[in-house]
Amino acid sequence: MTNLSKRCLCRALCLVSTAIAAPLVQSAHAQDSTTRTYENRLIVIKNPQPLLADHPEFVQPIVEERRFEAPLLVDDESADLRVRAWRFSYNARGVIEMPNLIKAASTAVIFVHPWGIDDSQGWKTPEPAGVCDFCTPTKNHLAARHTREVIDPFVAQLRGSVGLVMYSLRGKEHPVHAKLYRSIRKKPTETEREEGRRELKEIFGRFDYRGQPLPKVLTLSDESPVKDYFAQFPGLDASPKYNHEGFWDLPTPVSDAVTIDPDDYVYYDEDGYPALRDFLKSQKVRHVLLVGYATDMCFCLTTAGYNNLSKDFNVFLVGDATLATFPANNTPKYATNAHVSFASLNQLITQISWVKLTPNVAERDSTRASSRGFASEGE
């Protein structure tokens, strides 16, 4: 099975894995050596504003009839990063919001699959009918604009304060990757990076991006013409037929819409989750702010996806810093709304405007005091 075929299975697997995610997280927490009593008291929020409303071009704002305020959840000593978050509970009949105070140095910003396709680096969607990433050049350009306008400034704002910034990429580390990006194994010199950029352009420049055209004639049986039609003309075929032989063997670069700092890390899916987990633990990471693509696929179940990370870390999905795939639509906003909402059954969702560096001790103490007073009120 090709990497893209595996990727296209992610959505179905997400549905199954979400149902078992809560027991997995509970099992991990059962191993913790210390616990505290959390007063799970909910107060109705009156006249709340829509959630994820800051970037409506990319994410349709979320509106729910009932919203509740819950007490402070994550409360790190010497916290300097405020992260307000929410989740949805059918049992509670609504959205539950809560403040969190976390330590920036114990936090990783992880950007899932910022593929550099159809940008200045030379990796292109094959024509006339090839598919890659968001599966058409137009959709890929929209995703790159989202990266440039929304995610990249957010990462830049936190870089230098958080413990680390990391990008995940499909497949394995190619030799040219090792020259371009810092990995958990090696940090290249600037000379190596420059050599890697030239080498990458040469690799992409040698490839033939011409695939076969769409079929002009199909052979259909009288008994099952619909089945035969889709078997011969599926909605997504990323095989060598349309993408040309060897396309998926090319090294995937990080999008040129990302401003990569020399100290940022790149992690490769084929290195596996255990090695990623162990590396993050070795860097004293306890919290993850997760951004990236695609909400319904890679963001969910690839190596650095939330179904893996939430087993071992306090994960916050940044809901306006992700896009879902959007077939049959000219906008990702409705699909992203739906998949972020689905994730909220077992994940905490935040948004860019809710993530704030707060080095002010008085402000931090005020958040704690407000939460203590709130918890004593109940519903």
| CA pair distance 56, 45, nearest whole angstrom | 23
Residue 84 lies in a domain: no
Residue 142 lies in a domain: yes
Of how many residues is the chain composed? Answer: 379
Domain of 148, CATH number, reads 3.40.50.850
Summarize pLDDT for 125-146 with one digit per residue, the tens: 999 999 999 999 999 999 999 9
**pLDDT exceeds cutoff 50 at 78:** yes
**pLDDT exceeds cutoff 50 at 23:** no
Phi, psi of 375 (to 5 degrees): -65, -30
| pLDDT of 72 | 97
**pLDDT exceeds cutoff 80 at 265:** yes
| CA pair distance 9, 12, nearest whole angstrom | 6
Residue 79 lies in a domain: no
Q: Higher pLDDT residue, 304 or 19?
A: 304
Q: Are 92 and 42 in contact (CB under 8 A)?
A: yes
Residues spanned by the domain of 142: 3-14+105-344
Summarize pLDDT for 313-333 with one digit per residue, the tens: 999 999 999 999 999 999 999
User: Could you tell me how many helices (H) and strands (E) the chain has, helices first?
Assistant: 13, 13
Residue 100 lies in a domain: no
**pLDDT exceeds cutoff 50 at 256:** yes
Residue 230 lies in a domain: yes
Q: Is the pTM of this model over 0.85?
A: yes
| pLDDT of 215 | 97
**pLDDT exceeds cutoff 70 at 374:** no
216: tokens are 């002009």
Residue 250 lies in a domain: yes
Summarize pLDDT for 27-48 with one digit per residue, the tens: 444 445 689 999 999 999 999 9
Residue 354 lies in a domain: no
**pLDDT exceeds cutoff 80 at 373:** no
**pLDDT exceeds cutoff 80 at 291:** yes
Q: Are 324 and 336 in contact (CB under 8 A)?
A: yes
Residue 64 lies in a domain: no
Q: Please count the structural domains in the chain.
A: 1
Summarize pLDDT for 219-244 with one digit per residue, the tens: 999 999 999 999 999 999 999 999 99
